[in-house]
Amino acid sequence: MNVKQSKTAERNNTDGCYDVERVREDFPVLGQTVHGKPLVYLDNAATAQKPRAVIRRVAEYYETENSNIHRGVHWLSETATRAYEGTRTAVRKFLNAAEEREIVFVRGTTEAINLVARCYGGARLQAGDEVVISAMEHHSNIVPWQLICQEKGAVLRVIPVDDHGDIVMDAYHRLLGPRTRMVALPHVSNALGTVNPIKQMIDDAHRAGVPVLVDGAQGVPHARVDVRALDCDFYAFSSHKLYGPTGVGVLYGKAALLEEMPPYQGGGDMILSVSFEETEYNVLPYKFEAGTPNIAGVIGLGAAVEYVTALGIDAVASHEDRVVAYAVERLARVPGVRLVGTPGRRASLVSFVLGDVHAHDIGTILDQEGIAVRTGHHCAMPVMERFGVPATVRASFACYNTEAEVDVLADGLETAWRLFSGV
C-alpha cells in the first residue's frame, strides 16, 4: 500500500490504548452536521464509513495506477496487478486462510452466497436432499438456497430461534439428517445482533458429514475471524461493512471444494484457452473471477484491511462491546422502548420498537436530530414475523461510535416518545 496509514491506527496498535476520538478523526464524514446537528452515524450494519486511508488509496489508484490487471505487460498494468493481488494476500492473512487461491473476489456477500449455492449446491443437490439455514437469515442467505432447492427438488429446512433471538440448538441437531447436504448460517444476525456459536455448529455439521457456509457480513468487522480454527468450508463477507468500498466482497472456500466446483460465470480472465469446441478454465481463484473486476474497490479493501489490522481487531471488538452494552442499558431506561432480541451473546447492534409507533416515523424524527439509524425489516422479514413486529429501529455501531452518541440517541427517542404519546 502506497498511502501511509493513519497515525491513529499506528498508535492504537503500538501502545494498546484505544483512543476513539483520534479514530474519529480518520473518518471525514463524521465531522459534518445534518439538519444543523452533529452527525451521529448509527447505520454501520448497512454500511460503515470510510477512513481517509481508504479514500486516498482509491484516489491514488485512479490518479497514478489506473489500468486493467493480469493482461498487460506495461508498467501501469503490472503495478495495478500487484496492488490487486496484494489485497488477496492481505485478506488471506486477515482470515488466516491456508492459501491465497482460497480467496475469491466477488461483488459482496450476496454474490458469494449465490456463487456457492449455484456452483456447489447446483452440482450436488438432488431431489429430496436438504439444505439447513436458520430463522434469523438475511434474505441473501435465504433466496439463493430457495432458488437452487426449487430447481433441484431439494428441501429447505429452517432452525428455529427462541424468544431471546438465539438458535435452538436441539432443533439444529435434529435437522442434521442423512439427506442434509449443506448448512448455511450467519455468524452474527444483522437484525438481532445475535452472535451464533458458529464453531460448535460447524463441528456438529462436520460430524454429520455436512459442509458449512458462514455468512460473515456482520462478523468480520466486529471480531477476529480465523477460518482454519473455525474449520468452515466457506466464509463470505463484504468490503463496505469493513470500512472499504462498496461493490466488493470476498468468498473464502477450502481449495479442495473450490477445485471441484464449476465456474460461476464465463468470460475473460477465467480461462486458459478457448476454442469453439471447448474451453479450459483458469486455476483458482481466477476460475471464479470472470471479466474486469472492481479493481479500485479491491485495492480499497486492501487499505481497509490494513487500517483495521493497525487499529487491532480485538481492540475494536472490545470498544464496540462496551458501546453496545451501554446502549442496551441506556435504551432500557427510555419510556416505550422494547428491545427485539435479547441474545446471550450480542455484537455491534440493537434492534427495538418504541411503543406502537412505526419504525419509519421514529427514523424520520431521529434524522431531524442528526441521528442516522436503519428502520424497516432489514432484509430479514422472517425475523420480523418471528417476533411479531412489522419493522424495528436498528442502531448499529462501529469503531468510531461512542457512549455519548448513545446518549444522543436516547434523548432523541425520548423526544419521539413525548411527541407520539402526548406526554
Q: Name the residue with cell 485512479.
A: 62
Across the chain, mean pLDDT equals 95
pLDDT in the model for residue 282 = 87
pLDDT in the model for residue 212 = 98
pLDDT in the model for residue 271 = 87
Q: Is the pLDDT of residue 74 over 50?
A: yes
Catalytic residue among 119, 149, 232, 379: 379
Mean predicted confidence (pLDDT) in 19-38:
97
Tally of CB atoms within 10 A around 127? 9
- pLDDT band of 132, cuts 50, 70, 90: very high
Nearest to residue 201, comparing CAs of 225, 165, 224, 170? Answer: 170
- pLDDT band of 421, cuts 50, 70, 90: confident
Q: Is the pLDDT of residue 9 over 80?
A: no
Mean predicted confidence (pLDDT) in 10-38:
85
Length of the chain: 423
Mean predicted confidence (pLDDT) in 93-109:
98
Nearest to residue 298, comparing CAs of 82, 31, 16, 49? Answer: 82
Mean predicted confidence (pLDDT) in 377-401:
97
Cα dist. 82→1, 75, 98, 155, 309 in Å? 10, 11, 20, 44, 20
Q: Is the pLDDT of residue 77 over 60?
A: yes
Q: Is the pLDDT of residue 220 over 70?
A: yes
- pLDDT band of 255, cuts 50, 70, 90: very high
pLDDT in the model for residue 355 = 96
Nearest to residue 297, comparing CAs of 55, 72, 6, 93? Answer: 55
- pLDDT band of 12, cuts 50, 70, 90: low
pLDDT in the model for residue 13 = 47
pLDDT in the model for residue 7 = 54
Q: Is the pLDDT of residue 177 over 50?
A: yes
pLDDT in the model for residue 3 = 41
Contact 234, 216 (CB under 8 A): no
Q: Does the predicted TM-score (pTM) go above 0.85?
A: yes
Tell me the C-alpha distance between 17 and 419, whole Å: 41
| 399 is annotated as an active-site residue | no
| 148 Cβ contact partners less than 8 Å away, ≥ 6 residues apart | 117, 118, 121, 122, 125, 131, 154
Mean predicted confidence (pLDDT) in 329-354:
97
